[in-house]
Amino acid sequence: MRVLVRRLLERLVLLALAGVLGATLVRFAPGFSADEREADPRLSAESIQSIRDERAREGDLPRFYWRYFSGLARGDFGVSQALNRPVRSLVAERVPVTLRAAGFGLLAGWLAGLAAALAFSLPRLRGLAPAGTVASGMLLSLPEAVLALAFVFFGGTVKWAIALVVFPRVYRYAKNLLARIGEAPHVLAAHARGLGPVAVLSRHILPVAAPELLALAGISVSVAVGASIPIEVMCDSPGIGQLAWHAALGRDLPVLVTLTLLVTAITLMANTASDVAAGLSGAGRT
């Protein structure tokens, strides 16, 4: 119980640090004090001065931190300066879009990557493993934005682009992991006893690989969510990636800090869940 409480406190501290660092980086980025709204010729001198005062208040980081985290304790995420809407409603509208795309991409990428790694570990298909290595290497070398541009050109969707980001990482890790475990003494002994490849894989390789694969699952969640940001921007998908891009252009601190906290919370929850699952898997195996 004490360990659980300590880990929970550590994750809360990491979450708070993520928000603080996110706001600090935006505050000291070049051009923070500029605001495109000042170029509107329809604004009066009083309106322009009001915009400048608002930007100056946001630039006072201690005050911003106090107001933001005080509001956060009440469930108030602030108001978007660029869109003039409550941040809570903006995030609530866009999070389901990103979670659906990232969830599908994560599932499809994992199924394809794990299936390819398992298939190429069998003796009959081992000769095709170099083709999988070349394909995964090409996908790994492509930035997410370039991959998204290709999907825009060929009419693809965000979820399949995310799947292609997840696939090579799962495939390469799983292939190397299965090959390493396949050389273990207990696996060689199983082969010597005459067990078939499928039986050896299901009884002696996969149970040993399960904890590490579960750990990889937690990391791949952050990979999928992180990849969704540039992909949604390029594909013009109305998720949190597009919202983060518009907020970055407008130096919209409340939105940027909220999205930073959200992505960090998703990453921490995924890693915690994978750690628990890996621990239970390892305990069950022993």
Tell me the pTM.
Answer: 0.84
Q: Is the pLDDT of residue 283 over 70?
A: no
pLDDT tens digit sequence for 94-105? 999 999 999 999
pLDDT at 31: 62
Query: Is residue 18 within 8 Å of 261, Cβ to Cβ?
Result: yes
Report d(CA 112, CA 165) in Å as an integer: 12
Q: What percentage of the chain exceeds 90 in pLDDT?
A: 30
Query: Is residue 106 within 8 Å of 99, Cβ to Cβ?
Result: no
Numbers of helices and strands, H then E, in the chain: 12, 0
**Helices 253-285 and 206-235 sit at what angle, rounded to 10 degrees?**
160
Amino acid at 173: Y
pLDDT at 113: 95
* Of 45-54, 146-155, 202-211, minimum mean pLDDT range: 45-54
Report d(CA 231, CA 158) in Å as an integer: 6
pLDDT tens digit sequence for 154-201? 888 999 999 999 999 999 999 999 999 988 998 889 888 888 888 888
pLDDT tens digit sequence for 87-132? 999 999 999 999 999 999 999 999 999 999 999 888 788 888 888 8
* 157 class by beta-carbon count within 10 Å (0-12 exposed, 13-18 middle, 19+ buried): middle
pLDDT at 16: 73
pLDDT at 126: 81
Report d(CA 57, CA 63) in Å as an integer: 8
Q: What percentage of the chain exceeds 70 in pLDDT?
A: 86
Domain boundaries of the chain, sorted by first residue: 2-73, 87-285
Report d(CA 229, CA 227) in Å as an integer: 5
DSSP-assigned letters across all residues of 123-156: GGGGGGHHHHHHHHHHHHHS-HHHHHHHHHHHT-
Pick the CATH number of 87-285 from 1.10.1380.10, 1.10.1740.110, 1.10.3720.10, 3.40.50.880: 1.10.3720.10
Q: Is the pLDDT of residue 226 over 80?
A: yes
Report d(CA 136, CA 49) in Å as an integer: 54
Q: Is the pLDDT of residue 69 over 60?
A: yes
pLDDT tens digit sequence for 5-52? 676 677 677 777 777 777 677 767 666 666 666 666 777 777 777 766
Q: Mean pLDDT in the chain?
A: 84
Report d(CA 160, CA 7) in Å as an integer: 35
Query: Is residue 105 within 8 Å of 165, Cβ to Cβ?
Result: yes
Tokens 């930007």 locate to: 55
pLDDT at 171: 96
Report d(CA 197, CA 184) in Å as an integer: 14
Tokens 């990889």 locate to: 216
pLDDT at 140: 92
Tokens representing 264?
Answer: 């960090």
pLDDT at 57: 67
